[in-house]
Amino acid sequence: MALAIALVIAVITVISVYVFWAHVWWLPVDVSTHGASIDHQFMMTLIMTGIVFVLAQLGLAYFVWKYRDRGDRRPAKYSHGNNALEITWTTAAFIVFVGLNLLGYRSWASMRFTPAAADALRVEVWGEQFQFYFRYPGPDGQFGPTHVNLMNDATGNALGLDRDNDPASKDDIVTATLAIPVNREVELILHSKDVGHSFYVRELRVHQDLVPGMAIPIHFTASEDALNYNGGRYEIVCTQLCGLGHYKMRAFLQVMTQEDFDKWLKQQAEEQQ
């Protein structure tokens, strides 16, 4: 029994470590400029937890096997513990855990503590059950106001724009695919019409909830690599439980050269004017 449980724990440990080690399933490619620091922090964490995992599980397995009751007269060790040991591993655990966390500070700060550059491309993201819409401000750089009484998906005016009366809305471009230029900072402003949603592009290492009543900005830059995978086309998925269609609430992200992007935007604008 002791050997069996030791072996089973050891086998579980080895298989788990192998799957991580061999990248049988692994992080998707990273096509953002900030993703490397996230992946680095992930690797640091993986190595640290991997070591603790192996030591703890194999230690458990070894102890169970080694100290099984063999039916002999050896008594168990009468010990209430060891204060020096307690202090040592408490301190060690504290340094490792909190230290690891502080290492990740820079990665988080670079993503979240600084606003987007002034010349970043600004796009609004609107979520609703169960669809994403994207709004480009057009040549005037202004997003026109949205009117809840005009919001109507069936007429194609999901965002409730009044193009006839609001000058800022006139040139706004609303799409269901998010096209962005490569190598240029993009600032997304996230809105939700109804319930909570989330904007997640795993290859961009971008993940942010859409909260009704809030306009949440996030910014990122798609790296040169972004054009090389899958024709620059990635899936944007909702990760916040939003109702029955949650499982297929997704849109596509198309990364383009600046030239293609300008062309695409012009074509969209013509279709909508």
Q: In the window 186-245, what residues touch other proteins (CB under 8 A)? A: 193-196, 198, 200, 202, 205-209, 211-214, 216, 235, 237-245
- Work out which of 31, 123, 158, 256 binds other proteins, going by CB under 8 A: 158
Window contacting other proteins (CB under 8 A); options: 64-72, 137-145, 165-173, 255-263? 64-72
* Binding test (CB under 8 A) with other proteins, winner from 31, 33, 107, 223: 107
Least CB distance to other proteins at residue 139 (A): 20
Q: Return the structure tokens found at 233.
A: 């086309």
**131 part of the interface to other proteins, by CB under 8 A:** yes
Non-local (6+) Cβ contacts of 260 within 8 A are 181
The DSSP bridge pattern shows strands 178-181 and 206-210 to be unpaired
Residue 41 in contact with other proteins, rule: CB under 8 A: yes
Q: Which residues pair with 217 in a beta bridge?
A: 189
Residue 18 binding other proteins, by CB under 8 A: no
Q: In 3D, which of 176, 195, 190 has the Cα closest to residue 134?
A: 176
Q: Is 31 exposed, middle or buried (0-12, 13-18, 19+ CB in 10 A)?
A: buried
The helix/strand/coil state of 151 is coil
Among 16-24, 117-125, 135-143, 221-229, the segment contacting other proteins (CB under 8 A): 16-24
Question: What does residue 165 show for φ and ψ, rounded to 5 degrees?
Answer: -110, -20
Which range of residues in 48-56, 136-144, 181-189, 255-263 is near other proteins by CB under 8 A? 48-56
User: Is residue 173 part of the contact set for other proteins (CB under 8 A)?
Assistant: no
Preceding omega of 252 cis (within 30 degrees of 0): no
